[in-house]
Structure 1
Amino acid sequence: MIFIDESGIHKIVDNSTFALVYIEVRNYKNVEKKIQEIESNLRLDKFHWKNTPWKIKEGFIKETLKLDFSAKVAVVKNPVNPQIKLEECLTHMIVEKNIKNIFIDGKKPKWYERKIKKILREKNITTKKLRSVNDEQCAGVRLADMVAGLTRSYFDKKNIDRIFKYYAKLEKKGLLVIKT
């Protein structure tokens, strides 16, 4: 199962960095159960990078980095056209042929879903495998949100003293980073 999320694609002010995350999970039921346990232990309804205070975010990061998943991340600095960059990055990230399902956050704009469907068609993967879900109902999307937020914070050098050790652990999991 594949989970796709991004962080910072809609940012207009400052210099803009967006991180596109592609998470692959082999035993999703186990990972989903563990994420729900982590959220429960942290007294967290549902994790979301943007809305979670650092202390709880740190606990979530610490525990989820122990889970069995792999990640590919595309980091794009100051994109002129984020939609085109998103398409380019996803074209290089989606290489597997035996994909059961691909889940994306349902709050994304329609163009986002259309771009992913276009890429799937080009790779002869049925678009029926693409599911747009609410992040509250899908723990894998919340995991992708955490990886996207952590990666973007690292490359934006936000709270680097807090972020660095967790980003280093993420890299040790076999993180593949594509920088453009």
Structure 2
Amino acid sequence: MQIKTKNMHIFIDESGIHKKVDHSSFALVYVEVDDFKEIEEKICQIEKSLKIEKFHWSEVAWKFKEKFIQEVLKLDFKVKIAIIKNPINPAKELERILLHMAVEKRISCIYIDGKKPKWYEFKIKKVLRDKGVPAKKIRTVKDDKIACVRLADMIAGLSRSHFDKKNEKRLQKYYKMLEKKLVILMQ
């Protein structure tokens, strides 16, 4: 009997890489999902139950953020997070981090949030191609089209807020819940 393994879907997002104010730490998240369709449906159901069209960390009021986080953290996914404080060269740091994050062999597709600067998209695609991921498996998508990209956005926002010590009292318990899904944390 042969065991059939599922190919995973990967979602890459960041928070703070293009900030011009405040200190310039950024969080890069790499979310691994085995059952893509199920997670997609559940995220859409959560958004619908909260009566929000599409979740986005910087655009959603705290009471919806909190409820979204509580529900989404119950889903089945794994996360790799890198926190970079005050990078001299964000593009070089991004490349260095991805070399350590993108190690899986059974990748079905890698989705990159399409709202990012072009250099960000090109750098990620180059690193992934250099690691042997075929270009046809790398897709740039808008977060309103793929719910799991919104999941990555939530994780990036939560992680960066946690490490920047923003809303510490509110976020601490959710970050602790997220830690249970961590595969790698790079600082």
TM range (shorter): over 0.9
- Provide TM-score, normalisation by structure 2: 0.93
Q: For residue 142 of structure 2, what is the aligned residue in structure 1?
A: 134
Residues 1:61 and 2:66 aligned together: no
- Structure 1, residues 10-35: CA drift from partner, whole Å, max 9, x if none? 11222221000000000010000000
Deviation at 1:175, TM superposition (A): 4.4
Q: Is the 8 A contact 2:14 2:28 kept in 1?
A: yes
Q: 1:86 is paired with a residue of what secondary structure?
A: helix
| Equivalent of 1:36 in 36, 44, 47 | 44
Which stretch of structure 1 is more off in the superposition, 155-164 or 104-113?
104-113
Alignment-mate amino acid for residue 109 of structure 2: N
Amino acid at match of 1:96: E
Tell me if 1:25 matches 2:59. Answer: no
CA apart distance, 1:116: 1.6
| Residue from 23, 44, 48 that aligns with 1:15 | 23
Mapped to 2, the partners of 1:149 and 1:26 lie a distance apart of: 22
Cα distance in 1 for residues equivalent to 2:85 and 2:124: 21
How far did residue 62 of structure 1 move? 0.2
Q: Which moved more, 1:109-118 or 1:152-161?
A: 109-118
CA distance in 1, matches of 2:78, 2:101: 12
Instruction: Output the CA distance in 2 between the equivalents of 1:118 and 1:71.
Output: 22
TM score, norm. by length of structure 1: 0.97
Q: Secondary structure at the match of 1:140?
A: helix
Cα RMSD after superposing both structures? 0.9
Residue 52 of structure 1 aligns with which residue?
60
> Displacement of 1:53 after TM fit?
0.5
Residue number among 109, 126, 134 corresponding to 2:117 in the alignment: 109
Query: Larger deviation: 5-14 or 138-147?
Result: 5-14
Q: Quote the offset at 1:121 in angstroms.
A: 2.1
Q: Which residue of 2 aligns with 1:92?
A: 100
Q: Corresponding residue for 1:150?
A: 158
Q: Alignment length, in residue pairs?
A: 179
